[in-house]
Chains A and B, each alone.
Chain A
Amino acid sequence: MEWLNAIVQGALLGGLYALFAAGLSLIFGVMRLVNIAHGDLIVLAAYLGLTVTAATGLHPLLALVVVVPAMGAIGYALQRGLLNQTLGDDLLPPLLVTFGLSVIIQNGLLEVYSADPQKLDAGALETASLSVGGLSLGILPVLTFAVAVAVIWALQWTFYHTSLGRAFRAVSDNQDIAQLMGLNRRHVFGLAMALALVVTGIAGILLGIRTSFDPSIGGGRLIFAFEAVIIGGLGNLWGTLAGGVILGVAQTVGAKIDPGWQLLAGHLAFLFILAVRPNGLFPRIAA
């Protein structure tokens, strides 16, 4: 029963990791950009939530109303103002520019908020739980998982059933021809980054309610996101959810064996899958 509990808790944790990963996966899918600052942007969203709740007294979940649009705007501005300049055949500029961005965000947060760990106070939501078949499930983890499923469903729907999603796919397929259709790729990329950071905003708030955070944890979140993407298979959002779940389960089961093994077990699960299925468990079938 204890093991079953660990597995279920891990699966729910995987929902949070899938939220970390969805934004990373989306921008890679649309513009082949890997954003090293992705984890720091998640942490930035958590701090924005902190500022909003402190200033207005809003519940952190209501702070989403402010944080999510703010992150979207940051994403669009970041892409148009900076990241569009790095796109091209050369791998180095986007990688090194986002790496520099990561350092700037991390130290900017240190400067503004100090290194003290912070937490978003969600009141009774943090401790509430429901009992299912002898297992006690926290409302917050269940809610997080449900949000992850909803977000991935919404992204998937946007991608395949809206004109925005059509534009994303067209630009991803062939930038030149997409422009002949009247699509300004810089604008489309800006929208993709905005959407990615909207998801990141949601992930950051849920992270901040779940655990304490400080400016240095962005790198770790990037790695979880990356592992979920690779385990699930590039370009497959539902696969990314599965990747998050596998990572979460590996961590909680590892922690059950020895508390010091929590993160290590997750990384080892990732390396194992990389060794036996280098394209991930559910790679998108090449069209």
Chain B
Amino acid sequence: MSNQEYQVTRSSNAARVAAILGAIVVVVLIAAPWWAGRADMRLMGEMFLYLALASLWNLMAGYAGLVSVGQQAYVGFGGYMLFALTMFAGLHPLTAIGLAGVLGALISVPVAVLIFRLRGAYFAIGTWVIAEVFRLSFAQVSALGGGSGSSLPVGIVKSLADARDTREALSYWLALGAAVLVVAAVYFFLRSRRGLALTAIRDNELAASSLGIDIWRTKLVVYIVSAALTSMLGALIFLQKLRISPDAAFSVNDWTAFVIFIVVIGGIGTVEGPIIGTLIFFALRETLADLGTVYLIVLGLVAIVVMLKAPRGVWGLIRSRFDLQLFPLRYRVIRRGPSKGA
């Protein structure tokens, strides 16, 4: 009998290759202002923001068991904070984005205290109520245009940069940076002790609670951090749109339905899922968007079929076939073959 060496590891060749390829892709993307057209850059910027939103929603629903259909509350809140802080407090837009995150975190605490009283699916609808309360409240603020909304004054737009090209490059980089930052933050959080605890909870709540893992606090932290980052993303989104209204800012379709489709189709509960899902979602949108409502019906059907037939999405299918993980979270035991001198 030969001795065999076993190794417990998180890294794998696939993950190392993926890390290198990922770094190359990021560098190429950073250089986009020098090689991509204006329309392409706008599209990519939008993709990055959706990727970030999807990664955060996936963290909540796929890992923390917090299924929200009300993340538009924070997208809209962040957007409105950008407008309010730049227009009334005279802050620089970048400062306003950061502050929008802080304020989003602050307001999410009392919100969480309330809606954490609701279990499961009722939690989901509760988040929607909160988003409605936000929408109706901002519609009452006449200084921000009430129900019809307002536009960002030219002076504030120009404070980012005078030249239009520079502005567009800057907002592209901000979107790219946000996506990289959020994906990395989610990944490293899930690798941390708390993050692994979260995965343990998802996979077996009973075992996790018997290990003394404080489920409620971990979920609260996830909720607050997601709220803060979603608020910052909202501020970024409306810095690009330059115009805000309650219906656009708190749209359940734009900021929640599409995000859910991305995560479900890509693969819920995987770090890679939102990335794949974003690519599929935008590919579908660019080819089918002319069909209008039919396109949305197709999206709904695809999501239902995926949820029933492949609950871990496209990435789940790939992973089960090839045993791949590009963002290694779990430790695996690897046999390294017989060693010498048995």
Find out whether A and B make contact in their complex, taking CB atoms under 8 A apart as touching.
yes
* Closest residue of A by beta carbon distance from B110: A275
A104 to B305, CA, bound (A): 13
Given contacts A91-B65, A93-B311, contact A226 B125 (CB under 8 A): yes
A220 to B136, CA, bound (A): 12
Please pick, from B129, B147, B253, the residue contacting A270 in the complex, using a CB distance under 8 A: B129
List residues 112-139 of chain B with CB under 8 A from any CB of chain A. Answer: 114-115, 117-118, 120-122, 124-126, 128-129, 132-133, 136-137, 139
Q: B268 at interface (Cβ–Cβ under 8 A)?
A: yes
Q: B299 at interface (Cβ–Cβ under 8 A)?
A: yes
Q: A69 at interface (Cβ–Cβ under 8 A)?
A: no
A36 to B126, CA, bound (A): 12
Given contacts A101-B304, A219-B252, contact A226 B67 (CB under 8 A): no
A111 to B296, CA, bound (A): 11
Q: B260 at interface (Cβ–Cβ under 8 A)?
A: yes
From A5-13, A175-183, A259-267, the one touching the partner chain is A259-267
A164 to B120, CA, bound (A): 28
List A contacts of B132 (CB < 8 A): 220, 223, 263, 267
Q: B3 at interface (Cβ–Cβ under 8 A)?
A: no
Q: B300 at interface (Cβ–Cβ under 8 A)?
A: yes
Contact A104 B297 (CB under 8 A): yes
Q: A86 at interface (Cβ–Cβ under 8 A)?
A: yes
Q: B182 at interface (Cβ–Cβ under 8 A)?
A: no
List B contacts of A222 (CB < 8 A): 125, 128
Instruction: Give chain B's interface secondary structure class.
Output: helix
Contact A36 B300 (CB under 8 A): no
Q: A158 at interface (Cβ–Cβ under 8 A)?
A: no
5 contacts between A and B (CB under 8 A): A92-B307, A95-B67, A106-B296, A264-B140, A267-B133
Instruction: Give chain A's interface secondary structure class.
Output: helix
Over the window 89-107 of chain A, the binary record of Cβ atoms lying under 8 Å from chain B Cβ atoms (1 yes, 0 no) is 0011111110111111011
Please pick, from A86, A101, A263, A274, the residue contacting B300 in the complex, using a CB distance under 8 A: A101
Q: A22 at interface (Cβ–Cβ under 8 A)?
A: no
Q: B44 at interface (Cβ–Cβ under 8 A)?
A: no
* Closest residue of B by beta carbon distance from A110: B293
Contact A103 B300 (CB under 8 A): yes
Over the window 248-272 of chain B, the binary record of Cβ atoms lying under 8 Å from chain A Cβ atoms (1 yes, 0 no) is 0000110001001000100010000
Given contacts A86-B308, A104-B297, A219-B252, contact A271 B128 (CB under 8 A): no
Among B133, B136, B137, B293, the one with the most A-chain Cβ atoms within 10 Å of its Cβ is B293
Chain B contributes a number of interface residues (CB within 8 A of A) equal to: 41
A97 to B301, CA, bound (A): 9
Q: B43 at interface (Cβ–Cβ under 8 A)?
A: no
Chain A contributes a number of interface residues (CB within 8 A of B) equal to: 42
Contact B69 A99 (CB under 8 A): yes
List A contacts of B125 (CB < 8 A): 34, 36, 222-223, 226
List B contacts of A274 (CB < 8 A): 114-115, 117-118, 126
**Sorted from nearest, which 3 A-B pairs have the closest CB atoms?**
A34-B121, A104-B300, A103-B300
A86 to B303, CA, bound (A): 13
Apart from A34-B121, A99-B260, 6 more pairs, CB < 8 Å: A82-B304, A95-B121, A97-B308, A103-B299, A104-B300, A274-B117
A85 to B122, CA, bound (A): 20
Contact B114 A104 (CB under 8 A): no
Over the window 249-279 of chain A, the binary record of Cβ atoms lying under 8 Å from chain B Cβ atoms (1 yes, 0 no) is 0000000000011011001101100110010
Contact B136 A271 (CB under 8 A): no
CB of B244 to closest CB in A, whole Å: 18
CB of A274 to closest CB in B, whole Å: 6
List A contacts of B268 (CB < 8 A): 92
CB of B237 to closest CB in A, whole Å: 21
Q: A26 at interface (Cβ–Cβ under 8 A)?
A: no
Among A86, A220, A261, A264, the one with the most B-chain Cβ atoms within 10 Å of its Cβ is A264
Q: B15 at interface (Cβ–Cβ under 8 A)?
A: no
Q: A57 at interface (Cβ–Cβ under 8 A)?
A: no
Given contacts A107-B296, A107-B297, A274-B117, contact A91 B129 (CB under 8 A): no
Q: A117 at interface (Cβ–Cβ under 8 A)?
A: no
CB of B64 to closest CB in A, whole Å: 12
Q: B107 at interface (Cβ–Cβ under 8 A)?
A: no
* Closest residue of A by beta carbon distance from B115: A274
Q: A230 at interface (Cβ–Cβ under 8 A)?
A: yes
